[in-house]
Amino acid sequence: MTTGPTTTADEAPLFEPESPFRDLFDDPRWALAMIRATVLEAAHPQIGAALADNSTFVAHPWRRLRNTFLSMRRMFDADPAVREREAARLNRLHARMSGSDPRGRAYDAMDRGARAWVVATLFESAVTMCRLSGQPLAQDTMERMYAEYRAFLAALDGDAGALPEELNDFWRYYDRVVEEEPENTEAARIILYRLFDHLPAPALLEGAPTFWAAGRAVAGPLLGAITVASLPEPYRRKAGLPETPGAPVLMQGAYLAAGLTRFLPTSWINAETIIETLSLSPDSDDPRARSVVALRARMKRAAALIRLLTPSGDDTGSFPGPGPATGAQRRPAREFFHQVLDQTGDGYLDWPDLAAMARELATRLDLDEPEETRLYDAFAAWWRELQAALDTDGDGRVSADEYAAAVPSLAGPALIRVAEVLFDATDRDGSGTIDADEYRALFRAGFRRDLTITDGTYGRSAFVGDFLSFMSGRRTNTLYDPLLAEA
């Protein structure tokens, strides 16, 4: 498995402090450019198939956004050791994603050409973003930025040979790929036509479903139209995407308006702060939670006003999104299936759903080998148990009906092993208990939740019991809900 080039702490940073690449992190225009780049990535047959089979971006888009942003921050860190560690983690993650698409074509998330296309779409969308917002990049800046994107690819693949060395050659490469490779894939269609229309509320706005649904009903179609209008014309023609009257003007205005936000105070447009705030829940340990509680109260009042004006509306929308945890109450089987088990949001439970759980846990807990592999192996064993017990029609996956009909107790030996692997990863000193520092690292850093421990330790049996109660669907659990149930 490729893990990127070896680096030392004495080497120069991959991206200098004044890097054009680094400057994009807090640029509001980047949000529009990222949506565009993601559609172009998903249109690639290999990437689209991998996303459709393995990604959680439909059911858990905000969680995916947060993890992607965190990963990019690590990849552009000044410390070479941080970059190398993140590159190795990403390569381990992608090495576990392979299969075939509905047409029987093989895909592999480690394919060098597909990975190069991801980087290419990011670079080209950044250039397009600047051009559409009236601030085109100078040639020398564009060349410097392209060199940085190639360095990013080299950090993942060990070299950047899959992308042309010179910028002029890149444009020929890009035009050729746009003409030959992208298709109207299911993943691209979901992003353009389903994701925006059914986008679940972030944790901050879960308490105001009417308010969120009203805003989404307006913003969703606009974002879709803006994104379609910004895509390369050859792909729009090939995919048969509609040309909405006025969309080019709307797109230009959106990019120009986003560009004007550069005059706002830096603290207002800090991407990391915005993403973290959207992810906060009222019972979080984070000091900002108090502000969130007050804001949610205002949102509820606004939602109540909207309900008075539109009393016949559906408060919840059509997407089966998660709701706030209500304590240790039994969760209905179908609700647990859609909120926790069906991580990919395709209506079925199969291995990619459990792999997504393992991936999320490993990411939140920042696991290295061999703990990460032990966790994946434990989840794989749990999937085999679930498949044997619940897959009554033998189609290789478990439907919501099969799960609800069985109403099983899922706390078998394999699930116990999952809990034990998590406990061992947390019990760093091997004492057999999780002390105060260890549980803070697990629940506060990992899950952003406080955990009351009366005697100062958290024993193995208590940990395993709590985890099993949640994962078997017997009880809601405010500790684990934010990790696996929230959007």
Residues 413, 464 contacting (CB under 8 angstroms): no
Q: Examine the domain organization and report whether 165 and 252 are in the same domain.
A: yes
Q: Examine the domain organization and report whether 207 and 87 are in the same domain.
A: yes
Q: Examine the domain organization and report whether 236 and 138 are in the same domain.
A: yes
* Residue 224, domain member (yes or no): yes
Looking at 261, 282, 302, the residue that finishes a domain is: 261
pLDDT (average), residues 350-361: 92
* Residue 14, domain member (yes or no): no
Output the pLDDT for position 169: 97
Q: Examine the domain organization and report whether 475 and 360 are in the same domain.
A: yes
Q: Examine the domain organization and report whether 249 and 362 are in the same domain.
A: no
pLDDT grade, residue 106 (50/70/90)? very high
Q: What angle do CA 374, 379, 383 make, to 5 degrees?
A: 145
Residues 414, 382 contacting (CB under 8 angstroms): yes
pLDDT grade, residue 485 (50/70/90)? low
Q: Is pLDDT larger for residue 426 or for residue 142?
A: 142
Domain ranges, residue 133: 20-261
Q: Examine the domain organization and report whether 92 and 180 are in the same domain.
A: yes
Instruction: List beta partners, residue 435.
Output: 457
Output the pLDDT for position 408: 54
Residues 432, 423 contacting (CB under 8 angstroms): no
Distance CA 160, CA 116 (A): 8
Check pLDDT > 80 for residue 70.
yes
* Residue 325, domain member (yes or no): no
Q: Is pLDDT larger for residue 230 or for residue 333?
A: 230
Q: Examine the domain organization and report whether 451 and 368 are in the same domain.
A: yes
User: What's the gap between Cα 349 and its chain centre?
Assistant: 19
Output the pLDDT for position 293: 59
Q: Examine the domain organization and report whether 93 and 183 are in the same domain.
A: yes
Q: Examine the domain organization and report whether 236 and 88 are in the same domain.
A: yes
Q: Which amino acid is at 216?
A: R
* Residue 394, domain member (yes or no): yes
By CB atoms closer than 10 A (0-12, 13-18, 19+), residue 279 is buried
Cβ neighbours of residue 134 under 8 Å, at least 6 residues apart? 255, 256, 259
pLDDT in tens, 161-180: 999 999 999 999 999 999 99
Residues 404, 334 contacting (CB under 8 angstroms): yes
Residues 229, 251 contacting (CB under 8 angstroms): yes
- Does the CA dihedral 152-265-64-33 come out positive or negative? negative
Q: Which amino acid is at 393?
A: D
* pLDDT, averaged across the chain: 80
Distance CA 29, CA 256 (A): 9
Pairing of strands 398-399, 98-100: unpaired
Q: Examine the domain organization and report whether 70 and 195 are in the same domain.
A: yes
Looking at 234, 261, 288, the residue that finishes a domain is: 261
**Side-chain half-sphere CA neighbours of 254 within 13 A:** 21
**Residue 477, SS3?**
coil
Check pLDDT > 90 for residue 466.
no
pTM over 0.85: no
The structural domain count of the chain equals 2
- The string of DSSP codes covering 268-296 is GS-HHHHHHHHH--TT-SSTTHHHHHHHH
Residues 32, 249 contacting (CB under 8 angstroms): no
Q: Examine the domain organization and report whether 356 and 468 are in the same domain.
A: yes
Cβ neighbours of residue 357 under 8 Å, at least 6 residues apart? 343, 379, 484
Q: Which amino acid is at 376?
A: Y
What are the C-alpha distances in Å from 166 to residues 116, 163, 209, 471?
A: 14, 9, 49, 51
97-106, 256-265, 318-327, 360-369: least confident range: 318-327
pLDDT grade, residue 39 (50/70/90)? very high
Distance CA 222, CA 260 (A): 19
pLDDT in tens, 180-207: 999 999 999 999 988 888 888 887 677 6
Looking at 240, 261, 282, the residue that finishes a domain is: 261
Output the pLDDT for position 3: 40
* Residue 8, domain member (yes or no): no
Check whether the bond before 370 is cis (ω within 30° of 0): yes
- The string of DSSP codes covering 249-271 is HHHHHHHHHHHHGGGS-GGGS-H
DSSP type of residue 202:
P
* Residue 292, domain member (yes or no): no
* Residue 13, domain member (yes or no): no
Q: Which amino acid is at 67?
A: N
Distance CA 458, CA 442 (A): 11
Output the pLDDT for position 65: 82
What are the C-alpha distances in Å from 9 to residues 18, 81, 84, 96, 152?
A: 20, 7, 11, 29, 18
Output the pLDDT for position 5: 41
* Residue 36, domain member (yes or no): yes
Check pLDDT > 50 for residue 475.
yes
Check pLDDT > 90 for residue 437.
no
The CATH number linked to 378 is: 1.10.238.10
pLDDT grade, residue 361 (50/70/90)? confident
Q: Examine the domain organization and report whether 363 and 248 are in the same domain.
A: no
